[in-house]
Structure 1
Amino acid sequence: MVIHREVSVNGLTMHIAEQGTGPLVLLLHGFPESWYSWRHQFQPLVEAGYRVVAPDQRGYGGTDAPSAVDQYTIMHLVGDVIGLIDALGEQQAVVVGHDWGAPIAWNTALMRPDLVRGVVGLSVPPARRAPAPPLGLLEKRFGPDFYQIYFQRTGVADAELERDRHDTFRRFLVAASGTGQVSASAAAGGGFLDRMPKVETLPSWLTEQDIDTFAEQYARNGFTGPLNWYRNIDRNWELTAPWATAKITVPSYYITGERDVVRTFGAPDFLDHLPSMLTDLRGVRDIAGSGHWMQQEYPAEVNAGLLEFLKGL
């Protein structure tokens, strides 16, 4: 049974979902999600002998949401993972991240390899350092309506996503799935959700209860804290300069979806470049038919990959 409790981490009160005993596996969610996006991973990992903990990360769900934008930098977010490992009374963890959780997992392994037994990234691969602040490069490549640029407009995306949380999650989760249609840009002169079809019938992997759960979890903090992660992209580029040429040396594994929209952002041969950044890459799993939400859309395939990696540590 998954237990919910609060722990004190870096001055925050953090909500965590926890189950099992054994070596610690941390599951870090992405945007716009919560611990609940890992609901299908708990039981298989627990049955394999692991202690599984999925937090609501800074600004999300049941965890505190600082008001200042600059409290959501990569250093704060990696620091929260380090603080959580300590608060759980552990010396090390396997860190697994999806979407925004993946850069946090990769950077935790990069900055504190002594605390990371292994690292797994879902969807977002480790990124080479950009030659200049990323937002300007993204705007030049994808235009001013690219979603990461749109998210910089303080209060605008916040209000749009909050207007009808149920509709937000229905549109976003379905549109970015393997059977959906999603654009990475806001509609010209419009909003982020305007290019996502209204959803009448949910796909088999997503239920009305799932939508209700996500919507209820965002009732406390809204979307501003999560969006503030995006509003630190250029600041993160400045802060991570000391690791510009560093490689991730701990055992690593990468899971991607064949139809994940994130794959359109990078070079088409990005999989070929993984070994140059991950010196102990143990495997890559490309899930046929999967969109962005692979651990929800194809949990059996994701769980098989995680267990394969964990068994080899």
Structure 2
Amino acid sequence: MHQFKTPDFKLVDAGQAKIRVAVEGEGPLVLMVHGFPESWYSWRHQLGPIAQAGFTAAAIDVRGYGGSDKPRDIAAYSMENITADVAGVAKALQPDAPAILIGHDWGAPIVWNSSLSRPEAFKATAGLSVAYSGVPNRPFTDIFREAFTDKGLFFYQAWFQEVGPPEAEAEADVRDFLRKFYYGASGDAPAGTWPIKKHGAPLLEGMVDPGVFPAWLTAADLDYYVGEFTASGFFGPISRYRNHERDFEWLQQFKGRKLDMPTLLIGGDRDPAFNGFGRIADPGAMMRQHVTDLRGVHVLPGCGHWTQQERPDEVTALLVPWLKGVR
């Protein structure tokens, strides 16, 4: 495994927000975007090898996280605003050429939609965990209410809608929250670890702390995340989930537009987000309807949701040749 070293940090004025970026190496810009509840640090295993392959490897803290700005307005966390941050960082770090994007979890829709909305600013896009499904026909809130809430079932994104209780639950014991959330969505957790419960239950009810955590997240790694979220809180990170209707409205202007650039998809076969919580039979086939140049669909056996952390070497070995082919 690549020996991790601390990257250089830059605070970049992205236009609407100041965004912290971890940067390593020189060459064409590869900008990495994390998901929930993570940080630039989720790319710690990829930064060095991508830099060594001849690129400027850069990983942001999404607004609301870590060292980036943390507005107190829900609408500040819309896809429109966050894609503007991504474009602003890319322009600041590499003003004269389009950048390459890689995103995981929420970072995947963020990079897909950054490239969809600003095709001139980005030349290739890779997504981990979440396939590109095109401009939505309805807000995701409609989908999860139909599948879960209307049946009286708990769904974490429904729990995140009300401001206050989700933040309070996560912030009461950040380490406990992160351990249970990370473990529950990992490939190490046995089936049924993510409990089936009634709508209105809190997120952590019935969730498991494994005692000995899987080796892919060390005590030092967890300490770093705990420090970041203890300082930042969870309002910004959770508010990403409170913008589904706003995102839907913004994206309608791009209806009919395909992602016309090289793309790549990597997921784990134990990741519930990869198949859209059971809604998508074949993520690659779905994606091919909306992109023109899909250069690979890689499904990692036994891998859960935290793709590039659970399987760092495999993910890096897939990303680097793809990057060299699109540079």
- TM-score, normalised on structure 1? 0.96
3-state SS, counterpart of residue 193 of structure 1? coil
Indicate how the Cα distance of structure 1 residues 69 and 183 shifts in structure 2: closer, same or farther if over 3 A, else same.
same
* 1:272 aligns to 2:285 (yes or no): yes
For 1:44, what is the secondary structure of its paired residue? helix
Looking at structure 2, the residues matched to 235 and 185 of structure 1 have their Cα atoms a distance apart, in angstroms, of 29
**Residue 124 (1) aligns with residue 130 (2):** yes
Per the alignment, residue 101 of structure 1 pairs with 107
CA shift for structure 1 position 167: 0.9
User: Are the aligned partners of 2:265 and 2:284 in contact in 1 as well (CA < 8 Å)?
Assistant: no
For the residues of structure 2 that align with 1:71 and 1:20, how far apart are their CA atoms? Answer: 31
| 1:141 pairs with 2:147 | yes
Work out whether residues 154 and 201 of structure 2, in 8 Å CA contact, stay in contact via their aligned partners in 1: no
Which of 225, 228, 244 is the matching residue for 2:239? 228
TM-score (norm 2): 0.92
1:35 pairs, out of 24, 31, 40, with 40
Moved more, 179-188 or 44-53: 179-188
Q: Structure 2 vs 1, CA of residues 184 and 309 (structure 1 numbering), >3 Å: closer, same or farther?
A: farther
Change beyond 3 A, Cα 1:242–1:157: same
More moved, 9-18 vs 149-158? 9-18
User: What is the alpha-carbon distance in structure 2 between the residues aligned to residue 60 and residue 15 of structure 1?
Assistant: 9
Counterpart CA distance in 2 for 1:239 and 1:161 is 30
Give the aligned partner of residue 71 of structure 1: 76
Counterparts of 2:139 and 2:120 in 1: how far apart (Å)? 29
Match of 1:23 among 23, 28, 47: 28
Q: Secondary structure at the match of 2:109?
A: helix
Q: CA deviation at 1:173?
A: 1.0
What residue is the counterpart of 1:7 in the other structure? 12
Give the 3-state SS of the residue equivalent to 1:245 in structure 2. coil
Query: How does 1:224-303 map onto structure 2 within 5 Å?
Result: 224-262=235-273, 263=275, 264-303=277-316
Percent identity over paired residues: 39
Deviation of the 1:189 alpha carbon: 4.2
Report how many residues are paired.
Answer: 313
Mean CA deviation greater in 196-205 or 185-194:
185-194
| Secondary structure, aligned partner of 1:40 | helix
Task: Provide the rounded CA distance (Å) in 2 between the counterparts of 1:265 and 1:221.
Answer: 33
Q: Which residue of 1 aligns with 2:62?
A: 57
Structure 2: distance between partners of 1:33 and 1:284:
24
Q: 1:187 Cα deviation (Å)?
A: 5.5
* Equivalent residue number for residue 212 of structure 1: 223
Q: Is the 8 A contact 1:147 1:185 kept in 2?
A: no
Query: In the aligned structure 1, how far is the partner of 2:89 from the partner of 2:304?
Result: 30
The alpha-carbon deviation at position 185 of structure 1 amounts to 6.3
AA partner of residue 306 (structure 2) = W
Cα offset, 1:150, TM superposition: 0.9
Is the contact between residue 77 and residue 239 of structure 2 (CA under 8 Å) also seen in structure 1? yes
